[in-house]
Amino acid sequence: MKTSHKSRTPLILLIALLIGGALLWHHYSSGKLSIRIGVLHSLSGPMAASEKPLADAIQLAIEEANAAGGIGGQKIEAVVADCRSDATYCAQQAERMITEEHVQALFGCWTTDCRKKVKEVVEEHGHLLFYALRYEGMEQSPNIIYGGAIPNQLVMPAVNWALENLGKEGNPAKHGKRVYLAGSDYIFSRVLSILIKDLAGAHGAVVVGERYQPLGSATMDDLVADIAGQQPDIVFNTISGPDNNVFFKTLKKNGIGAAMMPVLSFGVTEVELKGAETAPMAGHYAARNYFRTIPTHENQAFVKRFRDRFGEHALLDSPAEASYLNMRMWIQAALEANSGDLHKVQRTILRQSLLAPEGIVSLDPVTRHVWKVARVGRSREDGQIDVVWDSGKPLEPAPFPAYRSREEWNHLLETITSPQP
């Protein structure tokens, strides 16, 4: 008995529908197998050397999470944009990642200018940015997680320690010290100078000089000549990262060493020391929440994994470690939510705490900043930094230090008219 063409047609259509449905399901489920997150860091331009370790740290955390099974069986996929050392372009990439790439979170930015421009984008879209840099504070946003330190978690305790413990040889006095403020001409340095002057006054110290260099300065002879002329007991240095190479070489050229005039820096990390002539910085001090030399098992295991993945000479510093802990914190929140969905993670992220390479960190649900230990390290000839002091316990974040009202801090910020990076 022959089967008619008409009787075969429904069967063919059914098979076609089943095949089409299977292909559609495969396409859809393949897309669902990955949870996309956006990485916004400069991989070209003057900021590339500083920012690449942060992108590497994010990638390491993602690979570790995926090797452990991902989030509910879904892999995490990093969508990376090169911000080209341009804050406006970075904000445009943030917009594209949210509206076109459909990422569930953003990780990135370095400068204050970049953060503020991307802040506008994530607030407009109700999205989420994880920011890893220590910064000047005076900010809170319901759409940002701040993994870096603010002044009360780093600058203020480090300055207090320095005023009590540092000074020229032959001047052990804890009060009446002469201090000099050297910085780059942008908002971070100027806000920190306000805080340092407040603390210096409380300690009975005298600010004998204050000078700011344009970003990317090729020479600092005038600055160093002024420092030499003022003869301070301590120099508080807020010069931007790469510019520190010029600053310390000029100090050495003029015969100014750590014993004669110790410098405490807030913008020097192992990345700046790497590839630079490190001898001029030897003996001087740096304030950070993380140093690669922290002797804990958790940190040394992290350093080994980072070097195994990116090479023995891969650059690793405090911002990179904070970038790693930001990504780990998002992963924990996603695991708790059993989903990488933006809105579900926003509900679980605020109760996260973890053992990071720097120590135990917890996210403060009110300020959305991380509790962090403050540390001061002393630079070695080989470019490593040894910890000489720490706060002993994580410090609660206070974006607006309590000795002024928020309105007063905002007014002070409005008076700072220097260009931002």
Evaluate whether residue 22 is within a structural domain: no
Evaluate whether residue 4 is within a structural domain: no
What is the per-residue pLDDT for 7? 55
Question: Is it the case that residue 124 has pLDDT exceeding 90?
Answer: yes
Q: How are beta strands 385-390 and 375-379 bridged, if at all?
A: antiparallel
Evaluate whether residue 8 is within a structural domain: no
pTM: 0.88
Evaluate whether residue 324 is within a structural domain: yes
Evaluate whether residue 5 is within a structural domain: no
Question: Is the domain of 282 the same as that of 189?
Answer: yes
Question: Is the domain of 222 the same as that of 308?
Answer: no
Question: Is the domain of 187 the same as that of 271?
Answer: yes
Nearest in space to 363 (alpha carbons), one of 334, 397, 339? 397
What is the per-residue pLDDT for 30? 43
Question: Is the domain of 235 the same as that of 332?
Answer: no
Q: How are beta strands 178-184 and 206-213 bridged, if at all?
A: parallel
Evaluate whether residue 333 is within a structural domain: yes
Q: How confident is the model at residue 411 (pLDDT cuts 50, 70, 90)?
A: confident
% of the chain at pLDDT higher than 70: 88
Q: How confident is the model at residue 27 (pLDDT cuts 50, 70, 90)?
A: very low
| Backbone conformation region of residue 86, classed left if phi is above 0, alpha if psi is from -120 to 50, else beta | beta
Evaluate whether residue 1 is within a structural domain: no
> Residue 160: which CATH number?
3.40.50.2300
Question: Is the domain of 169 the same as that of 241?
Answer: yes
Please tell me the least confidently modeled range out of 70-79, 277-286, 351-360, 370-379: 277-286
- Give the C-alpha separation, 95 to 129, whole Å: 12
pLDDT per residue over 190-242, tens digit each? 999 999 999 999 999 999 999 999 988 889 999 999 999 999 999 999 998 77
- Give the C-alpha separation, 216 to 203, whole Å: 33
- Give the C-alpha separation, 377 to 375, whole Å: 7
Instruction: Calculate mean pLDDT across residues 389-412.
Output: 92
Question: Is the domain of 283 the same as that of 158?
Answer: yes
Question: Is it the case that residue 126 has pLDDT exceeding 60?
Answer: yes
Please tell me the least confidently modeled range out of 27-31, 168-172, 224-228: 27-31
Task: Say how many C-beta atoms besides its own lie within 10 A of residue 280's C-beta.
Answer: 22
Question: Is the domain of 133 the same as that of 193?
Answer: no
% of the chain at pLDDT higher than 90: 73
Question: Is the domain of 49 the same as that of 122?
Answer: yes
Number of domains in the chain: 2
Q: How confident is the model at residue 332 (pLDDT cuts 50, 70, 90)?
A: very high
End-to-end CA distance of the chain: 84
What is the per-residue pLDDT for 269? 78
Question: Is the domain of 116 the same as that of 187?
Answer: no
What is the per-residue pLDDT for 418? 45
Question: Is the domain of 131 the same as that of 256?
Answer: no
Q: What domain range includes position 317?
A: 35-149+295-372
Output the DSSP codes for 221-235. Answer: HHHHHHHHHH--SEE
Please tell me the least confidently modeled range out of 60-64, 124-128, 232-236, 400-404: 400-404
**Bridge partners of residue 322, in order along the sequence:** none
Question: Is the domain of 237 the same as that of 220?
Answer: yes
Mean pLDDT of the chain: 90
Question: Is it the case that residue 156 has pLDDT exceeding 80?
Answer: yes
CB 75 within 8 A of CB 35: yes
Instruction: Calculate mean pLDDT across residues 54-73.
Output: 97
Question: Is the domain of 255 the same as that of 393?
Answer: yes
Evaluate whether residue 97 is within a structural domain: yes
Please give the radius of gyration of the chain, using alpha carbons only, rounded to the nearest integer.
25
